[in-house]
A and B are shown apart, each in its own frame.
Chain A
Amino acid sequence: MEQLFTISGTTLIIRLPAELDHHSSEKIRLEADRLATGRNIRWMLFDFGQTVFMDSSGIGMLIGRYKMMRFLGGNVAAIRANEQIQRVLTLSGIDKVIDVYEGIPQQLNL
């Protein structure tokens, strides 16, 4: 099975599935929270590279993780979102609080 969660230093990279809905968001939420609270994670990177569908359940999951990471003194970013995903991010307004990068941000030195 492909690795969905990768930890590199203090960064947790989450490779999102092809379809991010209520069904798939639930599992990601549980695992992301477990990993982020159990270790010293400063950045949570959501990799949309393989994602072709997202609805408001995905947005809810992102907002929840954003709140948690801010509480822990860390941050959240989204990377490699295609046009469709970008539309949903923009429509929800979440792109105003979560940075969206084309690739892995350089300041993370990964």
Chain B
Amino acid sequence: MNQGERTMQQNEMKLEFDSRSCNEGFARVAVAAFMTQLNPTLEEVADVKTAVSEAVTNAIIHGYEGRVKKVEIFCRIEQETLFVEVRDEGKGIPDVELAMQPMYTTKAECDRAGMGFAFMEAFMDALEVESTPGRGTCVRMRKHIRHDTEQFPGYLDTETAKNMTER
């Protein structure tokens, strides 16, 4: 594959911002804007926005516990798949498996529902959490964007349409 083809199919962006709650909206909108080149449906955009919002909120509330440090987002588009990585250098999660259980929260008194990871899992295709106590947390998510499948022109026969969706 030559360089020209590669740049058509792959695209990356990196974002770094202060762990302030007012940046939660900025972060999810930035990722949503980046993914528009995949021609996603409104529902797919909403899914990604929610997942990013969950990961960034976790970094701010749990990772840094209110301290103002940096949150990093790394996005990559490969073919029709979006990869999102949200990183913090906060306090980390001692037991990732426990933290990922629905309804589990360490901050119930702050009205946390304990659904952050469950939402990320529900709205994305894959979720991976890597954390080292005292060092920070990295959340990796992936979503395949199935675009254009319902916008085929009427004259396409089933076979052609099938080939196009499998391209």
Report how many residues on chain A are interfacial, defined by Cβ distance under 8 Å.
21
The answer to whether A23 and B122 touch across the interface, beta carbons within 8 angstroms, is no
Which of the 9-residue segments A7-15, A49-57, A69-77 touches chain B?
A49-57
Q: Does A110 contact B (CB under 8 A)?
A: no
Complex CA distance for A54 and B110, rounded to whole angstroms: 17
Distance in angstroms from B25 CB to nearest chain A CB is: 6
Q: A26-B21, A53-B46, A84-B46 are in contact. Are A21 and B115 (CB under 8 A)?
A: no
Report how many residues on chain B are interfacial, defined by Cβ distance under 8 Å.
24
Q: Which of A48-88 contact B (CB under 8 A)?
A: 53, 55-57, 59-61, 63-64, 84, 87-88
The answer to whether A22 and B119 touch across the interface, beta carbons within 8 angstroms, is no
Which of the 9-residue segments B53-61, B76-84, B129-137, B141-149 touches chain A?
B53-61
Distance in angstroms from B122 CB to nearest chain A CB is: 6
Interface centre among A21, A26, A59, A92 (most CB of B within 10 A): A21
The answer to whether B111 and A21 touch across the interface, beta carbons within 8 angstroms, is no
The answer to whether B24 and A63 touch across the interface, beta carbons within 8 angstroms, is no
Interface SS of chain A: helix, strand, loop or mixed? helix
Complex CA distance for A66 and B111, rounded to whole angstroms: 11
The answer to whether B46 and A91 touch across the interface, beta carbons within 8 angstroms, is no
Note all chain B residues with C-beta closer than 8 A to A19: 25
Complex CA distance for A87 and B54, rounded to whole angstroms: 16
Distance in angstroms from B82 CB to nearest chain A CB is: 18
Contact with A along B112-127 (1 / 0, CB 8 A): 1111101100100000
The answer to whether A23 and B24 touch across the interface, beta carbons within 8 angstroms, is yes
The answer to whether A22 and B57 touch across the interface, beta carbons within 8 angstroms, is yes
Contact with A along B60-102 (1 / 0, CB 8 A): 1100000000000000000000000000000000000000000
A-B contact pairs, 7 of them (CB 8 A): A22-B24, A25-B111, A53-B28, A56-B115, A57-B57, A60-B111, A63-B113
Seen from chain A, the residues whose Cβ lies within 8 Å of a Cβ on chain B are 19, 21-23, 25-26, 29, 53, 55-57, 59-61, 63-64, 84, 87-88, 91-92
